[in-house]
Each structure stands twice: as structure tokens, then as C-alpha cells.
């Protein structure tokens, strides 16, 4: 990227993969805005990284509160004038989610509102700032469970993971990646869905095969990627994932 000091926003960055993405981007020389729904937790996480000598600050942003999203965009514009990297990491699971026959529709609504509509709202608000970048990057944190092909493949180890709300919200997020990448194909902004792998976090109940630091590596790689023609992809650590 031409900008030597990249400005990055990572949503849901006060813990887990988001926190490690923020750390690794800052270690690579970026100025990182650590987005958090809880302002106090965001400030504490930013202070922890600042104590390591990293250029990190916090910004309050709640995917279910468009006023907070708009305020975050205004803050970034006032402080930095542009945005080079947007990592849409924030997302939720819901205990009332489950198979299509029995999942709570309220839970499905919550999941879609946060994981898809909230991410769309953040992206729309940040796009004017990303357009000012010499090489904008949008990384949408994806999951293998968002693949329609894999959900329909009885041979897949993920075939039995029937969470209609969560899986559908992440499939919708992939649609955002596909359509936005096509819309921005003649710009310097690249958009990709990146699955970090099965990571031990609160969201997975601390199950998984990877640490948050390991899970952060692939999203960071795509956030820092030089080639803007690498766009509209759905990737995980083993390679490209079928939509």
C-alpha cells in the first residue's frame, strides 16, 4: 500500500480474534481503531495494546445502533481523514438458534440483524472513508458454516451443524462480499470473506484447534494485501472455500 501509516478499524476488537487482529495490524505498523460495543471494555483493551508500545485507540461502535456507527465514522474522519482497512469482525451466536424446524425466530432475527445487517451498516458508513484510501481493504470475518455448498454436502464434517440463524447470517455476509466486490471492481478497494479457522474463543465455547493469535493471521494477511485485484474471494486456512 502507498500509505505508510495505514488506518484500520476492527469491529468487535476488545477480545478474541478481533483483539489479536488489532494487535497484529498494529505490530505491522498500522494505526488501529479498536471498535467495541462496550466503551469501557474497548478502552481497556486499547490501553493493554498501547502498553505494548502499539498505536491503538478505541472507538465505541455497536452494530445494532446506527447512531453509534455514524458517530464512529465521523470520529475517524475528524481524526484521520480516511480509512485504509475495515475488518468486519464483530458477530454473535445465540443459544436459541438451531435447526430450521425448531430455532427461535427471535434468535434468527437477532443473528441476521447483527451479523449481516449490522455489518452492512458499518460497511456503508465507512465506504466514503475507504474510497479516500490509495488501497482500501475490507475483510469480512466468515465461517465455513456460511458456505451453501458445504451445508449441502453430506460428506462434510460441517454437514450436521444445523444452525439456521448463524449459518444464514454468514451466508448473507458472503453475499455482501460478492456483490460489494463486483460493485467496487473498478476501484482500489478489495473485499474478501476470510474464515480464520476453528478458533478457541467465547463464540465457540472455547472449543477449536487454533488460538486467537493463530486465527488472526489470515484476516491480517488479507487486510495488508498489496494486490487490489484479489477480491471477491471466500478463503480459509486450507485455501479457497466454495460459496
With respect to CATH, is domain 7-91+122-144+172-236 assigned 3.40.50.720?
yes
pTM of model > 0.85? yes
Count how many residues are written for the chain: 243
Taking residues 88-101, what's their average pLDDT? 97
Is 200 known to be catalytic? Answer: no
Catalytic residue among 170, 185, 198, 222: 170
Residues 6+ apart with CB under 8 A from 107: 94, 95, 96, 97, 165
d(CA 227, CA 1): 9
Q: Confidence class of residue 1 from pLDDT cuts 50, 70 and 90?
A: very low
Using a pLDDT cut of 90, give the percent of the chain over it: 91
| pLDDT(2) > 60 | no
Instruction: Give the orientation angle of helix 66-80 with respect to helix 119-130, to 10 degrees.
Output: 20
Task: Note if 166 is an active site residue.
Answer: yes
Helix/strand/coil for 138 = strand
Average pLDDT rounded to a whole number, residues 206-234: 90
Catalytic residue among 74, 158, 159, 166: 166
Domain layout of the chain by residue ranges = 7-91+122-144+172-236
Per-residue pLDDT reduced to its tens digit, 30-77: 999 999 999 999 999 999 999 999 999 999 999 999 999 999 999 999
Amino acid at each position: 500500500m502507498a500509505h505508510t501509516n495505514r488506518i484500520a478499524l476492527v469491529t468487535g476488537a476488545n477480545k478474541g480474534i478481533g483483539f489479536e487482529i488489532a494487535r497484529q495490524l498494529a505490530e505491522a505498523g498500522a494505526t488501529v481503531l479498536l471498535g467495541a460495543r462496550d466503551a469501557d471494555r474497548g478502552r481497556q483493551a486499547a490501553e493493554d495494546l498501547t502498553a505494548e508500545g502499539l498505536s491503538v485507540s478505541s472507538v465505541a461502535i455497536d452494530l445494532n445502533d446506527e447512531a453509534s456507527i455514524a458517530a464512529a465514522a465521523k470520529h475517524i474522519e475528524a481524526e484521520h481523514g480516511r480509512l485504509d482497512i475495515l475488518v468486519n469482525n464483530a458477530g454473535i451466536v445465540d443459544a436459541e438458534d438451531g435447526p430450521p424446524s425448531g430455532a427461535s425466530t427471535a434468535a434468527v432475527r437477532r443473528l441476521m440483524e447483527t451479523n449481516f445487517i449490522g455489518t452492512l451498516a458499518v460497511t456503508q458508513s465507512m465506504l466514503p472513508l475507504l474510497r479516500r484510501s490509495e488501497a482500501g481493504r475490507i475483510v469480512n470475518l466468515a465461517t465455513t458454516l456460511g458456505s451453501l455448498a458445504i451445508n449441502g454436502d453430506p460428506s462434510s464434517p460441517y454437514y450436521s451443524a444445523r444452525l439456521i440463524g448463524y449459518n444464514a447470517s454468514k451466508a448473507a455476509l458472503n453475499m455482501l462480499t460478492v456483490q460489494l466486490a463486483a460493485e467496487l471492481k473498478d476501484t482500489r478497494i478489495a473485499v474478501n470473506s476470510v474464515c480464520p479457522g476453528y478458533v478457541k474463543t467465547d463464540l465457540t465455547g472455547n472449543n477449536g484447534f487454533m488460538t486467537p493469535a493463530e486465527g488472526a493471521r489470515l484476516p491480517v494477511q488479507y487486510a495488508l494485501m498489496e494486490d487490489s485485484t484479489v477480491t471477491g474471494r471466500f478463503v480459509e486456512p486450507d485455501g479457497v472455500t466454495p460459496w
